[in-house]
Every structure is written in C-alpha cells, then in structure tokens.
C-alpha cells in the first residue's frame, strides 16, 4: 500500500469514529433489553484512540525510512532497480560446451565442468547465468548439481579442495535467485529434502562451518523454504555465517529485518560483537544498539580469550605467542571498524593504537629472545667429528724405533719387493737409506712393510737384546708380516730414524 493511501485512511479515522459513536447511542435505546450490556463509549473511544496513536507512530517511522530512498531514487536513472548482489556481475556469452550441458539438463556433466575449472572459476562465473537460464528447468538443474556439495572423501573445513568446490556450488545457488525461475512443486519438495539432509550433515560435522551455513541459507532463499524452518534455526545459521559479506543481503532476502535485534543479541552472547556492528549499520539500528559499547565489549572478550589460551597452554611459550596474536588481531579489527564507521569522536583511536604498539613490541621482543636462546644453544654444543663420540679420546701416536741393523747381508731385490706399499698405506715413505750395511746404502723405490712376507728372522732381528725383553718380534708371524694375531702394530709418524 502506498504511503498516500495510508495517509488518507488515517485522516478518515475521526469521521468513522463519529459514525460509530452515533451507532452506539442508537444502540443504547435498546439497552433495557440487554441487562448485561455494559460497554460504554468512553471504553471504546480509549481503545480506538490507542490503536490510532500506534498507527500514526509506525507511519512516521515508515516516512523517515522512505525519505532517503526517495532521494536516492530521484538522483538515479529511472530504470535503476535494487537487485541481488550476484546479479550485479555482468553476463557473458557462455561457451558452447557449458550451454549444451545446461540445455541437456546434464547436472553431472555441469558438476564435472565446474570442478575442472574450480581453480579458475572467475573465467566462467559470468557465463553461468545465461547458460543456466537456457536450461528447460533451471531450478531442477542446479538442485541436481548440489549432490557434489558433500564429497564422500571430504576432510571437512580443513580440506581446501572441498571448500573451493563448495564456493562454486553456492555461486550456482545464487544463479537461481538471480534468474528467479518457476519452481515446480516436485522440485521444491526435492529442495526441502536436500535442505533437511544438509542441516543434518552440518550437525554431524560440528555445525560451525561458515561456508556450509552460507550454502544452506542460499538454498533456503533460492527455493523459498523459509517457512520450513524455525526462526531460531535460521538465526543460528546467520550467526555461523555472519562473517560472509553476503549475509546482510540474505537477511533482507529472507525477510528477517524485524528479527535483526534478535540476531544482534545472539551474536553478542557468542562474543561476536564486531560482526553485530555490521548488522547495526546495515539496518539503521545505531540508536537501538549503539556500536561503540559493542566494540569495547569485543575488546574485553578478546582479552578474556587470550587469557584462556594461556591457561590451557600452561603459559608455555607457544600459548603466549598465540594469545598475543589473537588479541593483536582483535584490536586491529576494531581499529578498522572505528575508521570505517567514522567513530573516532566516540571511540578515540589513540588508546587502540597504544595497545597495538605494546603488543607488537612484546611480540618482537619474544621473537628476538627465542632466536638468541636458539643461537646460544647451538654455540654451546661441542664441535664433534662425525665418527667420534663425546667419550672418545684422541689417539696417541706411537713412535716405534727399530734398531739400526749393521753387519747384516744386504737385502736383495727379491726380498725388498714384497715390502713396497706400506708407505702408501700408512703415509710412511722410506727415504734415503733404510739399512746400512758395510757403509753402503740400499736405494730405490720407497719401501713399506704392509701386507708382505716377513724376511728371515736372522736378517732383521739379530737378538732380543736390541728390542727389549718380551718384545713383539719374538712371536710367530703370519704370511702377511704381522704377528699371529693378524693385526698390524700401531705406527707413529716414523718407523726408522734417518
């Protein structure tokens, strides 16, 4: 009803009231016939006046809300009309493959087509509306495609692939709202069953997934299922999805304007005062729900939440860092809200900026302290060789000096040849003269002792008195030139003096 008609009806109230008074007086002439008739005009007049006053107050409120809209309409082109957010996107000519899937009502093919392009969904977003509009039954096509919203192998909210797919399906549901096709009774019944199953799936997964709640709300709006749900159930879904930017538009599409105060109360009771401020401004409730107290309450809630994080983590370093990050994020969000809604006069930003600076400094100090402790711990560790344990001791070089053998026959080449190689094995090159015999030097290629046949005892070891008692050389040797144990003796940097 137009405001002019309402105004005319209100002006006619006194005339109608006078007619009613005359009728009542005429009725009193028959009062003797009705002993129990005790209604007086003053009672009826009081009741009608109260109703009239209530109507006038509501009419004034309506006029106040209509004035800004009328001014905006006067400054806009005549053809400008309010449309859903999804309809603001420009349409593009759909590619033949996409259009043919829609015309054929191939919901599974449409699902596969969008799934393959989910990482670059923006490339086909603007083609969806005209493509779905070309389907014989757009509402049923989209509804059939919704079967993929809950993939069988989904890991829930932490599954990035599933979340990406769900965003695509929510966009499909928005197309139905934009196109506004005829929804046949059978399709609506199918949508109702899907909505109830959707609600059950949310309950099984914990019921706090914002994207799931947004999808269910869009399904309710697109297929006109508001009457199938309790008001509190829908308000709970709005609380879960409150951070999504489409939530405000969905509230208007749901016809929930009169329930917004209840929604704000639910948000405040769950520590989501920052989100409630968005609805306060979207529905012009600044006087009924002042935003500054809500923002201050949100800051207090963030401090309590940070304290709880520290308590649960036994004040560990990790819990303290997490608590600082949470409180810091909340303060920055409040500061952005103060700037966005021009609340600097009622909520000075200096206090918020000081708290933010203090927490950022604390966070940086803790980071530096942790880095210094890590470096100090690294420096205190001993520099170990990979093969050496902390209990091992450095090997002590053993200098074994064999006696200079004189007055012994010179070793021939046949006897020396087997000894070549020890110098290579133990880095002991024999230089100069190894054996002095009658003033003559035996020179040639460096000679070693490793892995060789031992020469006759009489040539190298003249007597036990030259090497001490109970020496190594009294024991029998094997074919490799080592004692019978099979292990070589320990040698130092030199076996023989020059």
Domain ranges within the chain, ordered by starting residue: 3-71, 91-255, 280-373, 398-498
Give pLDDT, residue 408.
47
**Chain position carrying tokens 């909505």:** 195
Q: How far is CA 350 from CA 303, 325, 336, 343, 345, in A?
A: 18, 20, 13, 12, 11
| pLDDT > 80? residue 54 | no
Question: Rounded to an integer, what distance in angstroms lies between the CA atom of residue 155 and that of residue 163?
Answer: 10
What pLDDT is recorded for position 237? Answer: 95
pLDDT tens profile 218-248 = 999 999 999 999 999 999 999 999 998 889 9
Question: Rounded to whole angstroms, how far apart are CA atoms 27 and 40?
Answer: 11
Task: Quote the tokens at residue 370.
Answer: 């942790």
pLDDT of 66 reads 66
Which two structure tokens, joined as six digits, stand for 154? 């989904």
Backbone angles phi, psi at 483, to 5 degrees: -60, 170
Coil/strand/helix, residue 485: coil
- Whole-angstrom Cα distance, residue 112 to residue 119? 13
Mean pLDDT (the chain) is 74
pLDDT at 481 over 90: no
pLDDT band at 495 (very low <50, low <70, confident <90, very high): very low
Looking at residue 395, the DSSP 8-state letter turns out to be P
pTM of the prediction? Answer: 0.58
Question: Over the stretch 404-427, which tens digit does the pLDDT of each residue have?
Answer: 444 444 444 444 444 444 444 444
Over residues 186-193, mean pLDDT: 95
CA nearest neighbour of 282 among 120, 478, 85: 85
Question: What pLDDT score was predicted for residue 21?
Answer: 77
Tell me which of 254-263, 324-333, 382-391, 416-425 is least confident. Answer: 416-425
Q: Residue by residue, what is the 3-state secondary structure of 36-100?
A: CCCCCHHHHHHHHHHHHHHHHHHHHHHHHHHHHHHHHHHHCCCCCCCCCHHHHCCCCCCCHHHHH
Which comes out higher in pLDDT, residue 253 or 440? 253
The 8-class DSSP code of residue 440 comes to: E
Give phi and psi for 436, each to the nearest 5: -100, 120
pLDDT value, residue 48: 72
C-alpha to C-alpha distance for 392 and 34, rounded to whole angstroms: 121
In degrees, rounded to 5, the angle at the alpha carbon of residue 234 between the alpha carbons of residues 228 and 240 is: 145
Give 3-state DSSP helix, strand, coil % of the chain, rounded to 5: 65, 0, 35
Which is more confidently placed, 322 or 463? Answer: 322
Residue 452 confidence class, pLDDT cut points 50, 70, 90? very low
């Amino acid at each position: 009803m137009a405001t002019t008609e309402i105004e005319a009806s209100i002006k006619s109230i006194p005339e109608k009231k006078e007619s009613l008074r005359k009728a009542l007086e005429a009725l009193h002439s028959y009062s003797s016939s009705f002993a129990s008739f005790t209604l007086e005009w003053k009672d009826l007049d009081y009741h009608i006046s109260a109703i009239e006053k209530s109507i006038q107050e509501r009419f004034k409120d309506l006029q106040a809300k209509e004035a800004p809209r009328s001014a905006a309409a006067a400054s806009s082109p005549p053809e400008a009309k309010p449309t859903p957010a999804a309809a603001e996107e420009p349409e593009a000519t759909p590619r033949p493959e996409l259009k043919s899937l829609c015309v054929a009502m191939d919901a599974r093919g449409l699902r596969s087509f969008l799934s393959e392009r989910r990482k670059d969904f923006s490339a086909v977003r603007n083609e969806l509306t005209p493509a779905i509009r070309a389907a014989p039954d757009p509402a049923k096509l989209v509804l059939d495609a919704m079967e993929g919203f809950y993939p069988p192998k989904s890991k829930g909210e932490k599954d990035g692939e599933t979340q990406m797919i769900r965003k695509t399906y929510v966009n499909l549901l928005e197309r139905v709202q934009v196109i506004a096709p005829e929804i046949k009774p059978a399709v609506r019944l199918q949508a109702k069953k899907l909505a109830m199953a959707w609600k059950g799936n949310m309950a099984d997964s914990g019921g706090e997934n914002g994207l799931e709640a947004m999808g269910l709300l869009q399904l309710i709006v697109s297929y006109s299922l508001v009457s199938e749900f309790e008001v509190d159930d829908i308000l709970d879904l709005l609380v879960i999805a409150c951070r999504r930017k489409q939530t405000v538009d969905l509230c208007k599409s749901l016809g929930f304007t009169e329930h917004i105060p209840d929604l704000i109360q639910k948000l405040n009771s769950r520590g989501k005062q920052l989100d409630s401020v968005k609805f306060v401004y979207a529905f012009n409730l600044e006087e009924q729900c002042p935003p500054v107290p809500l923002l201050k309450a949100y800051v207090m809630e963030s401090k309590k939440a940070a304290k709880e994080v520290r308590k649960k983590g036994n004040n560990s370093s990790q819990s303290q860092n997490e608590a600082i990050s949470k409180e810091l994020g909340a303060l920055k969000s409040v500061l952005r809200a103060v700037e966005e809604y021009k609340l600097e006069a009622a909520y000075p930003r200096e206090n918020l900026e000081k708290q933010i600076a203090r927490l950022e400094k604390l966070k940086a100090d803790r980071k530096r302290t942790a880095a210094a402790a890590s470096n100090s711990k690294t420096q205190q560790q001993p520099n170990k060789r990979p093969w050496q344990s902390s209990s091992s001791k450095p090997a002590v070089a053993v200098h074994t000096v064999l006696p200079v053998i004189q007055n012994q026959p010179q070793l021939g080449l046949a006897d020396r040849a087997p000894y070549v190689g020890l110098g290579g094995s133990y880095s002991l090159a024999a230089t100069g003269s190894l054996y002095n015999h009658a003033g003559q030097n035996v020179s040639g290629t460096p000679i070693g002792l490793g892995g060789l046949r031992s020469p006759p005892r009489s040539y190298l070891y003249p007597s036990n008195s030259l090497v001490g008692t109970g020496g190594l050389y009294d024991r029998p040797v094997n074919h490799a030139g080592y004692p019978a144990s099979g292990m070589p003796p320990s040698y130092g940097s030199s076996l023989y003096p020059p």
